[in-house]
Structure 1
Amino acid sequence: MTITHQDELDGLKEIGRIVANTMHAMARAMEPGMTTRELDEIGRALLERDGAASAPESSYDFPGATCISVNEEIAHGIPGDRVIAAGDLVNIDVSASKNGYFADTGATFRVDPVAPPLDRLCRDGKRAMEIGIAQVGSDKPLAGIGKAIGRFASGRGYTLIRNLASQGVGRSLHEYPGEIATWPNRDKRRITRGLVLTVEPFLSTGGLMATAGKDGWTLYSEPRAPVVQYEHTVVATDRGPMTVTMPG
């Protein structure tokens, strides 16, 4: 989607605020002994309260309102009977629509106590996303996002999952310009004013690719290694990035 009018930006900001509020409320409610299904139901209730529809459900018949991935699950985890425990890394990914506008956000949360290397991975994963977002702006190269994230990751001894990319978003969950690499690449396209996209690097201590599990949805790192993901939906402006998935 490319923003051309204020009412479009207002609609995008509204759903951006809803998904952000939902994700952060789920994180606050999360505690050891809770199942991922129970956590998902909290998210579902919040989305419904705010008049929003789960994008994974409506777009792809995903079996849950949100994606909840624990430890070795790195993305698209199906909410179910898995019990959240102390020391877990839990990724909560919330995407939804309202009035024809879509927004997408995600983050990896720690269930204390977490081992120091994983704590550091989380902090650096969020920083990698911020570094990528800083490369968004009118007429900037799309490849600049992955180049900057890749420089940060390699400089700290991390790897990036190279088949889970960012994407265009706004009027649907996945749209033009399609996949946007968050690792070094040779994409020659440039970012146009008003373009709406996600920035969501998957930072790892050794993982290189995502592989699908038996359920057809849940993704795992190959080779197996801890992975974190942080994601915002942003709009490219002449002044740089505008993040719309902020709680408020």
Structure 2
Amino acid sequence: MTVESQRDIDGILKVGRVVARVRDAMLNAIEPGMTTAELDQLGGKMLDHYGAKSAPKVTYNFPGYTCISINEQAAHGIPGARVIQAGDIVNVDVSAELDGYFADTGGTIVVPPVARVKARLCHATQLALTRALAEAKADAPIHRIGKAIQRTAKAHGFKVIRNLAGHGVGRSLHEEPEAIVGYFEPRDKRRLRLGQVIAIEPFLSTLSTQVAEADDGWTLVGHPANLSAQYEHTVIVTRGAPIVATLSEARN
């Protein structure tokens, strides 16, 4: 969507604050011995507390309130009986609808003890998001976002998962512009528009550049030994720095 009024801006910021709180609470609650279903229940209860609805449930009938992906799982992991173990790399992706507006966010942590490669992967992916956000300006080519992500991944010795991408968001979970890829695609001639609402989400990995759907019909996985990280913000495009709707409250 493109915001057309202060009401639109306020709506995106309100739902953005909700998903950010849920994301941060879930990431902070992760500990060895917890199942992904238990972690998801925390997210579901928080969304309900704020009067928000799980966007993947509403939009796609996803079998969980949030997506929780561990180790070889890159995205769209179904919450269930899997037990979180020490040393796991865990991604939480939270998206919700509130008062007709949608926001999408995600983050990744490593359960201690933290292996050096996992810490480096998370750091590089966070940095890729920061550098991608700096390219999200009105009238800028969309492919600058992917170029920033790809350059950061390469500089840190990691790969980009090429068939996972950011997207438009706002009035629904996935909107135009679709396929805001994490690599430089010079054939993409699209430009960002003033007031456009988009989700930017780099996926960096140790081995895989492609992921495929698992037998459960949802979870996306690469090589069995692959590790990946994802960080995601919903933003409103301006002529300068974007308005980030999904910042942690400590940074607001």
Same fold (TM over 0.5): yes
Q: Deviations over 1:72-108 (max 9, x none)?
A: 1110000000001110111000000001000000011
Map 1:10-49 → 2, pairs under 5 A = 10-49=10-49
Q: Which amino acid aligns with 2:237?
A: A
Q: Which amino acid aligns with 1:184?
A: F
Is there any run of 5+ residues in structure 2 with no aligned partner, and where? none
Alignment partner, residue 107 of structure 1: 107
Q: Which amino acid aligns with 1:27?
A: L
Alignment partner, residue 71 of structure 1: 71
Q: Which amino acid aligns with 1:7?
A: R
Does the residue aligned with 2:237 lie in a helix, a strand or coil?
strand
Answering whether residue 162 of structure 2 is matched by residue 162 of structure 1, we say: yes
Instruction: Give 1:247 shift.
Output: 3.1
CA contact (8 A) 2:72 2:224 kept: no
Q: Deviations over 1:129-173 (max 9, x none)?
A: 111111001111101101111112122221100000100000000
Question: TM (normalized to structure 1)?
Answer: 0.98
Question: TM (normalized to structure 2)?
Answer: 0.96
How far apart, in 2, do the equivalents of 1:83 and 1:150 lie?
A: 33
Q: Tell me how large the CA RMSD over aligned residues is.
A: 1.0
Alignment partner, residue 220 of structure 1: 221
- Overall identity of the aligned pairs, in %: 50
CA contact (8 A) 2:11 2:101 kept: yes
Alignment partner, residue 82 of structure 1: 82
CA contact (8 A) 2:195 2:236 kept: yes
Instruction: Give 1:181 shift.
Output: 1.1
CA contact (8 A) 1:207 1:223 kept: no
Map 1:177-188 → 2, pairs under 5 A = 177-186=177-186, 187-188=188-189
Alignment partner, residue 175 of structure 1: 175
Question: Could you tell which deviates more after superposition, 53-62 or 215-224?
Answer: 215-224
Q: Which runs of 4+ in 1 moved over 4 A?
A: none
Does the residue aligned with 1:240 lie in a helix, a strand or coil?
coil
Does the residue aligned with 1:152 lie in a helix, a strand or coil?
helix
Aligned residues: 248
Map 1:45-64 → 2, pairs under 5 A = 45-64=45-64
